[in-house]
Amino acid sequence: QSALTQPPSASGSPGQSVTISCTGTSSDVGTYNFVSWYQHHPGKAPNLVIFEVSKRPSGVPDRFSAFKSGNTASLTVSGLQAEDEADYYCSSYAGRNTVIFGGGTKLTVL
Amino acid sequence: QVRLVQSGAEVKKPGASVKVSCKASDHTFTNYGLTWVRQAPGQGLDWMGCISAHNEVTTYAQTLQGRVTMTTDTATTTAYMELRNLRSDDTATYYCALTTVGTGWPLDIWGQGTMVTVSP
C-alpha cells in the first residue's frame, strides 16, 4: 500500500480559505467513506478534525469542512487563523482493518 | 472523557526490543479499538496496526509483520506495543490512539507520544 498523495505545502493569508487534497485509489478513498483528517502541531499529539469524510468531532470549529469525490478527498479551512498553521494529514480505511495515511501537508498562514 | 498516558522515552541498540505502554484513565477503554501510529523525524504519520481492546483481535501493517506485537491488559486498562529486532529507521515518536467516534478507525483520543531512539 502506498501512502495517500497530499501536496507537501499550502498557504493562505489570515481570513482566507485554503483547500488541501488527498488522493488515493479505488481500494481506499474511492471505496470507503471513512476518510479522516488530522491537524498536527509539531511536538504535540495529532488532533482529529474530520472523520467519515465530512463529520466534525465535538469542539472542532465549523471553519473546517471536507468532502470526497471519487478517489480524492479534500479539506477546506476557512477564515484562516494563525493557530491553523500546522501539518495536516488525511487517512483512509483500506479494508481488512487497515488504515493508510497521506504524506502530510504543511499549512502556512502568511 | 478517557485519557491516554504513555511510558517515557527509550534508547535502544540495534537488534534490541522495546515495549511501549499506553495507560487509559478508565475502563471505558475496553469498549474501543486502539491504534499505534509512529512518526520518524521529519517524516509523516505511519500506521502500525490496531487492536480491539475487548477481544484482542489485532491487525498489523504488512511492513511490520513478524516484528510487532500489540496487546492489552483490561485489568490495568493498559495497552502495549512491542517492537523487536530494532533498526535505526525505527527511531520515531510512537503514539497510541483510541477510536471512540465513528467507523473506519478515526483516532480521536491520543497519547502524548513516546520517543524511541535506536542507536549503536
Residue of A51, A52, A89, A93 best to disrupt the B interface, most CBs of B under 10 A = A51
For residue A33, the model assigns a pLDDT of: 97
> In whole angstroms, what is the distance from residue B54 CA to residue B75 CA?
11
Taking contacts as CB-CB distances below 8 angstroms, the residues of chain B near A75 are none
Span B40-49, pLDDT tens digits: 999 999 999 9
Question: Is B38's pLDDT higher than 90?
Answer: yes
Is the per-residue pLDDT at B54 higher than 80? Answer: no
pLDDT for residue B59: 96
In this predicted structure, the answer to whether residue A41 has a pLDDT above a threshold of 90 is: yes
pLDDT at residue number A60? 97
Asked if the C-beta of B27 comes within 8 angstroms of chain A's C-beta atoms, the answer is no
Other Cβ atoms closer than 10 A to B86: 21
| Contact indicator for B27, B77 with CB cutoff of 8 Å | yes
**Backbone phi and psi for residue A93, each to the nearest 5 degrees, phi listed first:** -65, 140
Per-residue pLDDT band for A76 (boundaries 50, 70, 90) equals very high
* Residue B53: per-residue pLDDT: 74
Q: Which of A86, A96, A110, A9 is nearest to B57 (CA)?
A: A96
